[in-house]
Amino acid sequence: MPIRSVADAALACALSCGLLAGCERSHEEALLARGQRLLADYQCGSCHAIPEVPAARGGVGPPLERWGGRSYIAGQIPNEPAALARWIADPQALVPGTLMPDMGVSEADAQAMAAYLMSLE
C-alpha cells in the first residue's frame, strides 16, 4: 500500500515500531526462556539454588536468586552481562583456582544463561 500523506507515513511508522517492539519483547522472552532451560540442561542446579529452574536446589555454590541486583561475581568481578557470560563459559580464566567448574558452556549458551540470571532481581 503506497504512503500518500504524512498521516499515512505516521501510521505506518507507528505500526512498524509497535511490531518491532513486540518482536524485541518476544526475542528477549525467548532468550530468557532459553537461558533458564540451559541452566537446567547444564545441571547448574546441582550446586546452586536457582529460581524457577527445575531441580535447582544445590547448596554447594551460592544461591542465584536476585542475581541481577548483585554487584560482584565471585566477590571480585563487576556483575554485568558480558562478564557473567565469560564467567559461566570459563570461570578459571577469570578467577584461577575458583571452585566453579568449567562445564564446557559455549559462548552463545553462556550469554543466554547470563541473560536469564541478570533478569532475576
- According to the model, what pLDDT value does residue 57 have? 95
Q: Which grid cell is 31?
A: 532468550
Note down pLDDT in tens along the chain; length 121 residues: 455 666 666 556 655 555 555 667 788 999 999 999 999 999 999 999 999 998 899 999 999 999 999 999 999 999 999 999 999 999 999 999 999 999 999 999 999 999 999 999 9
Alpha-carbon torsion (39, 44, 50, 56), positive or negative: positive
Please, what are the domains in the chain?
28-119 (2.60.40.420)
